[in-house]
Structure 1
Amino acid sequence: MQKEIALPEFIGETEQAVILVVPALDRCLSVLFKRFHEGEEIEYWFSWELIPAENGGYMVTLDIGWDGENAVSVGFNLDMWEYLPLITKRGHLVLMTDWSLIEEGISAGVDKMGRFRPRALLVRDVGRGMEDLSSKVAEEAMSNRGSTELIQLLEILQSSQKSGLLLH
């Protein structure tokens, strides 16, 4: 079974987090957003994965799940790998499904009753797990020696871990 992977339409940053706008996940996350806005505390999990891409290359995915629901997957293709060290450095990620928060600001997340109800999910400590991803990439690179793509990804991941160590 192949999972559906949504690619970000926008990647940005603040001092505290990386921002991803992924409108394709709006329907998948709408129930979760509703539960958050009703004040429910929901435990979620996330993991970083390396998967083969249709073009014969590789993609990194951030899989996020909760309450036994199907996980959603955000994909990072070769052109987006350069953001992985930034994600590790910032530590948190805000996953938005609505462009209006970027275009119009916070007022776009306010409902008719004046409550702030953004279509956004904060994933804390999202850099956790990058070491495991790095190990997976190294294993795959060892078994697939001709892949310059995997070597490039491994270098990117290792550079983010080194810079992370220098910051502490």
Structure 2
Amino acid sequence: MQKQVVFPAFLGESEMAVVVVIPSIKEDMADIFDRFHSGEEVDYWFSWDLVLTDTGEYLVVLEVDWAQGDGLIVAFTTEMWEFLVLMVQKENLVIMADWNVLEEGAPTLVSEEEFKPYALLIRDVHTGLDKLYDQVKELVSVNDGIEELSNLQLLLEGTNNQNITLH
């Protein structure tokens, strides 16, 4: 199975999490949102990776999977990499499929009787960034002079003073 790669339409932060809005996933992830809304506990897992596109662009990707579903791959371009540091600081990532929560505000919507957010909370989102760091460090050592990789390595090293330990 080939998964669809999606790019955030918006990245921001709240007091407790980095917020990523991807409206295109609302329909694709309707099954998991329905499961959440019905009260079902859905186990999901995630991993971080660095990929090189056909056009020579490096993307940091977050792959999220769950049983009985297609999963999701969120791609972060070089312009979005600074949010990795915020993710380590906040420790949580919220992937939202609906602009309404941002536009109308969560407190307003929560007061409504049938509030059903189209959102996926990933706790401890920094888990696995050490493996991404190792991957980047190895690529930098064999591809000296690729500025994107060097910048990503420095960025990830900056997270070393935060909540994760890099080798």
Structure 2 CA distance for partners of 1:58 and 1:150, relative to 1, 3 Å:
same
2:9–2:21 Cα contact (<8 Å) kept? yes
The 5 A counterparts of 1:1-168 are 3-106=3-106, 109=109, 114-164=113-163
Once residues 105 and 99 of structure 2 are traced to their aligned partners in structure 1, the CA distance between those partners, rounded to angstroms, is 10
In structure 2, list runs of 5 or more residues that go unmatched. none
TM superposition shift of 1:4:
2.4
Once residues 21 and 66 of structure 1 are traced to their aligned partners in structure 2, the CA distance between those partners, rounded to angstroms, is 20
TM superposition shift of 1:107:
6.5
Structure 2 counterpart SS, 1:65: strand
Runs of 4+ in 1 over 3 A off after TM superposition: 107-112
Once residues 34 and 3 of structure 1 are traced to their aligned partners in structure 2, the CA distance between those partners, rounded to angstroms, is 20
TM superposition shift of 1:111:
10
> Percent identity at matched positions?
39
Structure 2 counterpart SS, 1:55: coil
Q: 1:118 corresponds to which letter in structure 2?
A: P
- Count matched residues: 165
Tell me the TM-score normalized by structure 2: 0.90
Q: 1:98 corresponds to which letter in structure 2?
A: D
Once residues 152 and 16 of structure 1 are traced to their aligned partners in structure 2, the CA distance between those partners, rounded to angstroms, is 26
Structure 2 counterpart SS, 1:131: helix
* Post-superposition CA distance 1:59-99 (Å, at most 9, x none): 00111010053220111101001111001110001110011
Once residues 15 and 4 of structure 1 are traced to their aligned partners in structure 2, the CA distance between those partners, rounded to angstroms, is 30
Once residues 68 and 140 of structure 1 are traced to their aligned partners in structure 2, the CA distance between those partners, rounded to angstroms, is 35
Once residues 9 and 52 of structure 1 are traced to their aligned partners in structure 2, the CA distance between those partners, rounded to angstroms, is 21
1:61–1:76 Cα contact (<8 Å) kept? yes
Structure 1 counterpart SS, 2:83: helix
Once residues 109 and 41 of structure 1 are traced to their aligned partners in structure 2, the CA distance between those partners, rounded to angstroms, is 23
2:101–2:109 Cα contact (<8 Å) kept? yes
In structure 1, list runs of 5 or more residues that go unmatched. none
2:88–2:162 Cα contact (<8 Å) kept? no
* Post-superposition CA distance 1:109-151 (Å, at most 9, x none): 5698x22211111111101111111011111222222311101
TM superposition shift of 1:161:
1.9
Tell me the TM-score normalized by structure 1: 0.89
**RMSD of equivalent CA atoms:** 2.2
Structure 2 CA distance for partners of 1:38 and 1:63, relative to 1, 3 Å:
same
Structure 2 CA distance for partners of 1:108 and 1:26, relative to 1, 3 Å:
farther
2:3–2:70 Cα contact (<8 Å) kept? no
